Amino acid sequence: MISKDYSLNEFVDKVRRKASWEIVVLAIEEADRIDRLTYHKDLYTNEQLEICRCYSKDLKHLINYIRYESKPKRPENKAYKLYTANWADRQKYILTCCPLSKDNAK
C-alpha cells in the first residue's frame, strides 16, 4: 500500500515526482488492493469500509484525470484539485515519459 491511511493526499505526495504512466499504474494497483479489502466485510467496520470505498473512488477519478484529461461535473472534487495542482501542466509531456511512445522506442 502506498497510503497507509487511505488518504489521497498521502498517495499524491508519494507519487508526485513520477512519470504520468507510472502514477496511473500505481493508482490502478492501489485501487485494486483497496477494492479487494472491501470484499472482507467481516474484518472491517462499516466506517472503515466506507473510507476504503471513498479512497478507491478518488483514485479512480485521479486515474481518469491523468489518462484522459477529463473534467469533472463538480470541479470542487478533491481528486481533481490534486490533479490540477500537481499534474495538469505536465499532460503535454505524457507521451515523452511513456515507455511505449515512438520517441523512446528509438
Tell me how far apart the alpha carbons of residues 70 and 60 are, in angstroms, rounded to a whole number: 12
47-79 confidence digits (pLDDT tens): 999 999 999 999 998 898 888 877 767 667 778
Is 81 domain-assigned?
Answer: yes
- Between residues 73 and 24, the one the model is more confident about: 24
Is 72 domain-assigned?
Answer: yes
| Grid-cell match 466506507, residue found | 50
Is 27 domain-assigned?
Answer: yes
DSSP 10-48: HHHHHHTTS-HHHHHHHHHHHHHHHHHHTT-GGGS-HHH
Is 44 domain-assigned?
Answer: yes
The torsion angles phi and psi of 36, rounded to 5 degrees, stand at -65, -35
Q: What is the pTM of this model?
A: 0.73
> Is 80 in contact with 65 (CB distance < 8 Å)?
yes
Confidence band for 85, pLDDT divided at 50, 70 and 90: confident
Is 2 domain-assigned?
Answer: no
Structural domain count of the chain: 1
Instruction: Return the pLDDT at 81.
Output: 80
* Residue span of the structural domain in which 31 resides: 8-101
Confidence band for 96, pLDDT divided at 50, 70 and 90: very low
Instruction: Return the pLDDT at 89.
Output: 66
Is 50 domain-assigned?
Answer: yes
